[in-house]
Amino acid sequence: MTKKYFGTDGIRGEVGKPPITADFLLKLGWAAGKVFANGGHDFVLVGKDTRISGYMFESALEAGLTAAGMGTRLLGPMPTPGIAYLTRTLRAQAGIVISASHNPYYDNGVKFFSVDGTKLADEVEEKIEYYLDAPISTVSSAKLGKAKRIADASGRYIEYCKASIPTRLDFAHLKIVVDCANGATYHIAPHVFSEIGAEVIALGVMPDGVNINENCGATNTAQLVACVIAEQADLGIALDGDGDRLIMVDHKGEVVDGDELIYIIAKSRLSEGKMQGPVIGTLMTNLGMEHALTTLGIDLLRANVGDRYVMEMLNEHNGILGGENSGHIICLDKTTTGDGIIAALQILAEMHYSGKTLHELKSGMQKYPQVLINVKVAKKVNLDDYPSVQSAVNAVESKLANKGRVLLRSSGTEPLLRVMVEGENKDLVQSCAEQLANEVHIAIGA
């Protein structure tokens, strides 16, 4: 069954344009309530990030769930992985996240977690879509759902994060800059890192509803780099708007991306004798990471882009570690979904055990130059329908002479075609990527 509304990471779009409207979110709450009503638990959790539209959509979802007879527990601003954790530990029937993750404030979306704190199965999303196309009805007044707020949600999650590393580890010698992207971790991440002993300088902790991800966080590390250097900090931590991505900065101001962080964690698990299964990357995973893991005797398997597909392959191959270069890092030995704070704690723990700086830890992996250019398109396209684009791809691959990769793919969350070129020679990679992106723009650009 082809899903009408759900994409690779829930339902997402621009606020005020279908389907991200108040009336649709009310219907979505009702549809989800109908599906979850017979699960044995009488409430679902609803959390959000800090974008201004979250208030409107929180109310709409609550109304729909109530009409379906499902209770609601409101968490307020809470990182996506925190909602996954609380869904599991509070025994909720499901968790609902109102967030557009790394997107700008004028976008928003909804994603769900199962009772186990994992992404919903396709068949559950299909059931929700079935009710979305059915006429809405309201249960009798005696059966209406009830809504409550959970006051201690952030404290529960903070303790859970800290418990992902041994309590004996002390980080009093570290100065850390933490950029919360004016998002859902603003009132959580600084506490986590200060409570394990580190000196914390907090950035991006003044959300106003419209500044989420704006020139800050995991998608824009310039502010973090400058602050790490100015403060002579040991490292910087950048999270995205909903807290499921992590990018770091070493003491020299060099950005450490998701691939490098996954490599560090994999090597750490291997040294502890706790590595299990292959590492799961994506089509975007850098060749340098694949080569570095091979040197360690660890296999890398590539999933389609999206943490949903990484998770599916992890489960299929009984793995514990995977993720994306964008910063989604899944440590299944610690949690059930991608979690930026918990991933950062694993890096800090390895720094403690090894006595090495972040800069030294990443040095075991040499990245290939990789250039990614986004081309705006009017709609999702089938590249097979554009022979000129295929010819341009073939030409670039010939130039790379089997020493690189070319990847064209549609974004799962935005109207973009992503053009990626990777190879040994930086200048050649840059020129090839520009050449290919230009050809794509001419052929199918918006």
Per-residue confidence (pLDDT) for residue 209, from 0 to 100: 98
**Do residues 246 and 271 both lie within one domain?**
no
Q: Pick from 347, 367, 387: which residue ends a domain?
A: 367
Per-residue confidence (pLDDT) for residue 3, from 0 to 100: 87
Per-residue confidence (pLDDT) for residue 379, from 0 to 100: 78
- 239 part of a folded domain: yes
Q: Pick from 302, 333, 367: which residue ends a domain?
A: 367
- 155 part of a folded domain: no
- 268 part of a folded domain: yes
What is the distance of C-alpha 29 from the center of its chain? 23
**Do residues 131 and 190 both lie within one domain?**
no
Strand partners, 419: 373, 408
**Do residues 89 and 134 both lie within one domain?**
yes
Cα distance between residue 57 and residue 20, in whole Å: 9
- 165 part of a folded domain: no
Q: Pick from 348, 367, 386: which residue ends a domain?
A: 367
**Do residues 202 and 294 both lie within one domain?**
no
Cα distance between residue 399 and residue 403, in whole Å: 9
- 178 part of a folded domain: yes
Per-residue confidence (pLDDT) for residue 424, from 0 to 100: 87
Cα distance between residue 154 and residue 349, in whole Å: 23
- Strand segments (E) across 59-133: 71-77, 95-98, 107-113
pTM to 2 decimal places = 0.91
Low-confidence ranges of the chain (pLDDT < 50): none
**Do residues 377 and 315 both lie within one domain?**
no
**Tell me: the pLDDT tens digits for 337-352?**
999 999 999 999 999 9
Strand partners, 405: 422
Q: Three-state DSSP class for 242? A: coil
**Do residues 342 and 378 both lie within one domain?**
no
**Do residues 251 and 264 both lie within one domain?**
no
- 156 part of a folded domain: no
**Do residues 270 and 249 both lie within one domain?**
no
What CATH number is associated with residue 221? 3.40.120.10
- Residues tagged active-site: 101
C-alpha R_g of the chain: 22
Domains held by the chain: number:
4
Rounded to 5°, the CA angle 90-178-287 comes to 90
**Do residues 176 and 123 both lie within one domain?**
no
Per-residue confidence (pLDDT) for residue 41, from 0 to 100: 77
- 411 part of a folded domain: yes
| Range of the structural domain that residue 80 is part of | 11-150
**Do residues 187 and 89 both lie within one domain?**
no
For the record, the structure tokens of 325 come out as 């270069």
Q: Three-state DSSP class for 149? A: strand
Read out DSSP for 323-391? Answer: E-TTSBEEETTT-SS--HHHHHHHHHHHHHHH---HHHHHTT--PPPEEEEEEEBSS---GGG-HHHHH
What CATH number is associated with residue 383? 3.30.310.50
**Tell me: the pLDDT tens digits for 391-445?**
999 999 999 887 888 999 888 667 889 999 999 899 999 999 999 999 999 998 7
**Do residues 232 and 122 both lie within one domain?**
no
Residue pair 439/388 in contact by the 8 Å Cβ criterion: yes
Strand partners, 238: 179, 247
- 1 part of a folded domain: no
Read out DSSP for 400-415? Answer: HTTSEEEEEEE-SSSS
**Do residues 27 and 136 both lie within one domain?**
yes
